[in-house]
Amino acid sequence: MSSFAETAALGYLKSQAIEFVNYNKRQMSRIYPKGTRADSSNYMPQIFWNAGCQMVALNFQTPDLPMQLNQGKFEYNGGCG
């Protein structure tokens, strides 16, 4: 398993998208917000989910669109996963 800051993961998606998707088929990956998000804002998790990232961490204290997407995906899956 590997942890990637959102900026590193975006870099992989821009420069090595196929390799990153193939990595996620074999390994677990966790994406976390970059350290400069002092305002607890969130990035759009969908791009990382689309690339096969299994754990996409968000700032739960900010009820914005990315959190709504996360909550909707969780509820659609029966409150699990």
Strand arrangement, sheet containing 55-56: 2-5, 29-32, 55-56
**Domains of the chain by residue range:** 2-75
Cα→Cα distances 65→34, 46, 59, Å: 18, 11, 12
Cα→Cα distances 17→10, 34, 55, Å: 9, 20, 18
Tell me the C-alpha distance between 76 and 12, whole Å: 29
Task: Quote the pTM value.
Answer: 0.91
pLDDT digits (tens, 9 = 90+) for 20-75: 999 999 999 999 999 999 999 999 999 999 999 999 999 999 999 999 999 999 99
Residue 13 binned pLDDT confidence (cut-offs 50, 70, 90): very high
Residue 81 binned pLDDT confidence (cut-offs 50, 70, 90): confident
Q: Give me the helix-helix angle, 17-26 and 6-15, nearest 10°.
A: 120
